Protein backbone atom coordinates (compact mmCIF):
# COMPACT_ATOMS: atom_id res chain seq x y z
CA UNK A 1 0.00 0.00 0.00
CA UNK A 2 2.88 2.35 0.73
CA UNK A 3 4.21 1.81 -2.80
CA UNK A 4 0.81 2.64 -4.27
CA UNK A 5 0.54 5.78 -2.16
CA UNK A 6 4.03 6.94 -3.13
CA UNK A 7 3.34 6.25 -6.81
CA UNK A 8 0.08 8.21 -6.66
CA UNK A 9 1.76 11.15 -4.99
CA UNK A 10 4.66 11.10 -7.51
CA UNK A 11 2.20 11.03 -10.45
CA UNK A 12 0.28 13.88 -8.87
CA UNK A 13 3.42 15.99 -8.55
CA UNK A 14 4.44 15.30 -12.13
CA UNK A 15 0.99 16.23 -13.42
CA UNK A 16 0.77 19.29 -11.23
CA UNK A 17 4.16 20.62 -12.34
CA UNK A 18 3.36 20.00 -16.04
CA UNK A 19 0.05 21.78 -15.63
CA UNK A 20 2.00 24.85 -14.61
CA UNK A 21 4.17 24.51 -17.71
CA UNK A 22 7.47 23.64 -16.01
CA UNK A 23 9.07 20.36 -15.16
CA UNK A 24 11.18 19.74 -12.09
CA UNK A 25 14.36 20.14 -14.11
CA UNK A 26 13.21 23.52 -15.45
CA UNK A 27 12.70 24.76 -11.91
CA UNK A 28 16.26 24.00 -11.04
CA UNK A 29 15.77 20.51 -9.61
CA UNK A 30 13.99 21.73 -6.50
CA UNK A 31 11.28 19.58 -4.97
CA UNK A 32 7.75 20.86 -5.24
CA UNK A 33 6.12 21.78 -1.95
CA UNK A 34 2.45 21.25 -1.29
CA UNK A 35 0.36 22.73 1.45
CA UNK A 36 -1.03 20.71 4.34
CA UNK A 37 -4.54 20.98 2.88
CA UNK A 38 -3.42 19.53 -0.47
CA UNK A 39 -1.61 16.73 1.32
CA UNK A 40 -4.73 15.92 3.36
CA UNK A 41 -6.85 15.79 0.19
CA UNK A 42 -4.35 13.49 -1.50
CA UNK A 43 -4.23 11.22 1.54
CA UNK A 44 -8.01 11.04 1.76
CA UNK A 45 -8.26 10.24 -1.95
CA UNK A 46 -5.74 7.40 -1.60
CA UNK A 47 -7.53 5.97 1.46
CA UNK A 48 -10.89 6.18 -0.31
CA UNK A 49 -9.59 4.46 -3.43
CA UNK A 50 -7.92 1.72 -1.37
CA UNK A 51 -11.09 1.11 0.60
CA UNK A 52 -13.23 1.06 -2.54
CA UNK A 53 -10.90 -1.38 -4.30
CA UNK A 54 -10.91 -3.67 -1.26
CA UNK A 55 -14.68 -3.50 -1.05
CA UNK A 56 -15.19 -4.33 -4.71
CA UNK A 57 -12.68 -7.15 -4.89
CA UNK A 58 -13.13 -8.72 -1.45
CA UNK A 59 -15.10 -11.69 -2.75
CA UNK A 60 -13.28 -12.14 -6.02
CA UNK A 61 -16.27 -10.92 -8.03
CA UNK A 62 -18.54 -13.68 -6.76
CA UNK A 63 -21.61 -12.76 -4.85
CA UNK A 64 -23.19 -15.07 -2.37
CA UNK A 65 -26.95 -15.16 -2.24
CA UNK A 66 -28.62 -15.11 1.10
CA UNK A 67 -32.02 -16.65 1.65
CA UNK A 68 -34.17 -15.47 4.49
CA UNK A 69 -37.23 -17.45 5.46
CA UNK A 70 -40.00 -15.92 7.47
CA UNK A 71 -43.18 -17.31 8.85
CA UNK A 72 -46.24 -15.22 9.47
CA UNK A 73 -48.58 -16.08 12.27
CA UNK A 74 -51.99 -14.49 12.29
CA UNK A 75 -53.49 -14.21 15.70
CA UNK A 76 -57.10 -13.23 15.92
CA UNK A 77 -58.67 -11.95 19.03
CA UNK A 78 -62.42 -11.93 19.39
CA UNK A 79 -63.78 -8.52 18.58
CA UNK A 80 -66.31 -7.31 21.08
CA UNK A 81 -68.96 -5.20 19.41
CA UNK A 82 -71.79 -3.57 21.26
CA UNK A 83 -75.11 -5.28 20.89
CA UNK A 84 -77.32 -3.62 18.31
CA UNK A 85 -80.01 -1.56 19.85
CA UNK A 86 -83.31 -1.23 18.19
CA UNK A 87 -84.34 2.35 18.13
CA UNK A 88 -87.90 2.98 17.22
CA UNK A 89 -87.83 5.04 14.07
CA UNK A 90 -90.20 7.89 14.14
CA UNK A 91 -91.87 8.46 10.82
CA UNK A 92 -90.80 11.52 8.92
CA UNK A 93 -93.25 14.37 8.86
CA UNK A 94 -94.38 15.63 5.47
CA UNK A 95 -94.02 19.40 5.74
CA UNK A 96 -96.48 19.91 2.85
CA UNK A 97 -99.41 18.20 4.61
CA UNK A 98 -98.59 18.48 8.33
CA UNK A 99 -100.66 20.61 10.66
CA UNK A 100 -99.15 23.18 13.00
CA UNK A 101 -99.50 20.72 15.92
CA UNK A 102 -97.60 18.00 14.02
CA UNK A 103 -94.85 20.48 13.04
CA UNK A 104 -94.37 21.39 16.72
CA UNK A 105 -93.12 17.86 17.42
CA UNK A 106 -90.01 18.64 15.33
CA UNK A 107 -86.83 19.81 17.06
CA UNK A 108 -86.35 23.61 17.13
CA UNK A 109 -89.92 24.23 15.95
CA UNK A 110 -92.26 25.90 18.38
CA UNK A 111 -95.81 27.20 18.08
CA UNK A 112 -94.84 30.41 16.24
CA UNK A 113 -92.53 28.76 13.72
CA UNK A 114 -95.04 25.99 13.03
CA UNK A 115 -97.67 28.64 12.26
CA UNK A 116 -95.12 30.48 10.05
CA UNK A 117 -94.43 27.26 8.09
CA UNK A 118 -98.15 26.66 7.49
CA UNK A 119 -98.66 30.34 6.51
CA UNK A 120 -95.69 30.22 4.07
CA UNK A 121 -96.91 26.95 2.56
CA UNK A 122 -100.37 28.42 1.96
CA UNK A 123 -98.98 31.66 0.51
CA UNK A 124 -96.19 30.23 -1.73
CA UNK A 125 -97.31 26.69 -2.46
CA UNK A 126 -95.84 23.34 -1.39
CA UNK A 127 -92.16 22.83 -0.69
CA UNK A 128 -90.24 20.99 -3.43
CA UNK A 129 -87.22 20.21 -1.24
CA UNK A 130 -86.80 20.09 2.55
CA UNK A 131 -84.18 22.82 2.18
CA UNK A 132 -86.91 25.19 0.95
CA UNK A 133 -87.79 25.79 4.61
CA UNK A 134 -85.18 28.56 4.65
CA UNK A 135 -87.72 30.80 2.91
CA UNK A 136 -89.70 30.86 6.19
CA UNK A 137 -88.71 33.87 8.34
CA UNK A 138 -86.81 32.76 11.45
CA UNK A 139 -85.62 29.43 10.01
CA UNK A 140 -82.00 29.35 8.91
CA UNK A 141 -79.70 26.74 7.45
CA UNK A 142 -78.70 25.40 10.88
CA UNK A 143 -82.33 24.71 11.76
CA UNK A 144 -82.98 23.08 8.39
CA UNK A 145 -79.88 20.85 8.81
CA UNK A 146 -81.20 19.75 12.23
CA UNK A 147 -84.60 18.93 10.67
CA UNK A 148 -83.45 17.01 7.57
CA UNK A 149 -83.59 13.62 9.31
CA UNK A 150 -87.14 14.29 10.55
CA UNK A 151 -88.93 15.81 7.57
CA UNK A 152 -89.88 14.96 4.02
CA UNK A 153 -91.77 16.54 1.14
CA UNK A 154 -94.41 14.68 -0.82
CA UNK A 155 -94.64 10.93 -0.43
CA UNK A 156 -90.85 10.37 -0.21
CA UNK A 157 -89.45 9.17 3.10
26-49: per-residue pLDDT in tens? 555 566 788 889 999 999 999 999
Determine the Cα–Cα distance for residues 143 and 4; give it in Å rounded to an integer: 88
Q: 2-19 and 36-57 are packed helices; what angle lies between their axes, rounded to 10 degrees? A: 130
Q: Any long-range contacts for 133-142 (C-beta under 8 Å, 24+ apart)?
A: 133/95, 138/112, 138/113, 139/113
What domains can you pick out in the chain, each with its CATH number?
2-55 (no CATH), 93-152 (1.10.150.280)
pTM for this one? 0.44
| Band of residue 98 on the pLDDT scale cut at 50, 70, 90 | very high
Amino acid sequence: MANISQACIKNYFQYYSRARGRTQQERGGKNMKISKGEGAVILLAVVFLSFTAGWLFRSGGQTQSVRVETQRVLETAPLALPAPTESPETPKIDINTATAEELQTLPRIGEKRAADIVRDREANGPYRFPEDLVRVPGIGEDTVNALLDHITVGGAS
